[in-house]
Amino acid sequence: MAFYKTAKAPIVGVYQSSGKFSKLASQNDDITEQDSGNIKHALNILSKDVLKAVSRVYDLSDDINDYIFPVPRAVTADTPNNNGDNFSHEELMRFSAAHRCLVFQTFRNDPLHIEHAADDPKTARGYIADAHYVTSSRDDKHVLTVVAMDTTKDPPLAEGLLNGDVSTFSMGCICEAVRCSYSKCGKRATSDKDLCEHLMWHKMSRIDGELIFENCEGVEYQELSAVGNPADPKARTQALLKYAAKHASNNDVKTAFSVLSTLISPEDQHEVAKFFAANVGKLPEAMLRLADQIL
């Protein structure tokens, strides 16, 4: 049995494609000029072949101009996160025989999801185009991931990322085992029932002055998610409705409503979308919940 872990991943910058890649917004000062240069370089050599192949699996646009590129700091090495999970430098740099790459590189081509709802790859909003391990500061080694987010698949999320309303992702990984950090213990567990009492009861508290946390081993990074959407969910639905109406009125072959389109003709869909968009402010809660379901 493996452990499933999640942790906050603050976004340090968002880049946009416009012929050349230029930095748009930086939510904090964690990004250095050197990192920024590396990211721009990575974006400019981004593989269009990978984009094409990945877009089919994740049901994403295959046009690079539809994308924005948030750069979350996905993992900080040797620093237990708020959940008391630690990813050591050695683990991040370990060669994973199962994946034929280093552990931090297992982020590559993983999907971007919402709230860790990762069961269906076709619901992905993007994918992780690249992962860098930044070691310029000895005490602050970290993994930066370059996320390619399809703005046409989730316009409100794209807007939230660009205006800074969405400033964190959450990484999701599995690990084969966890090891207790307490120097007098060091027990390795491969399931919840094997956990020592320190990890069971004292995670992120101190024993003999030592902080107790879990060292994750046998890690595989699986996805990133936008979580705890700080924007009003109602505003999100309204933005989606406006987007649906716009697309329906453009006679776009792309289906704006997912469920509705299986029930009624494109013309009727257009009429419904127009009504929703014109009345979003007046719609009762139940109608907004219905709109959530059919979009």
Question: Which residues contact Zn ion by CB under 5 A?
Answer: 180, 182, 185, 187, 196, 198
CB of 182 to Zn ion, least distance (A): 5
Residue (143 or 196) nearer to Zn ion, CB? 196
Pairing between β-strand 214-226 and β-strand 111-114 as defined by DSSP bridges: parallel
C-alpha closest to that of 239 among 165, 168, 170, 147: 165
d(CA 126, CA 290): 25
CB of 85 to Zn ion, least distance (A): 15
Residue (173 or 180) nearer to Zn ion, CB? 180
Q: Residue 279: CA atoms inside 13 Å, Cβ hemisphere, count?
A: 13
Residue (134 or 178) nearer to Zn ion, CB? 178
Maximum pairwise Cα distance, the chain: 70
Pairing between β-strand 67-76 and β-strand 3-18 as defined by DSSP bridges: antiparallel
CB of 187 to Zn ion, least distance (A): 5
Residue (183 or 251) nearer to Zn ion, CB? 183
d(CA 203, CA 187): 14
Residue (112 or 196) nearer to Zn ion, CB? 196
CB of 151 to Zn ion, least distance (A): 46
Burial 46-81 (b: 16+ CB within 10 A, else e): beeeebeebbeebebbeebebbbbbbbbbbbbbebb
Residue (3 or 104) nearer to Zn ion, CB? 3
Cβ count within 10 A of residue 232:
10
CB of 194 to Zn ion, least distance (A): 11
CB of 178 to Zn ion, least distance (A): 10
Question: Does residue 16 sit in helix, strand or coil?
Answer: strand
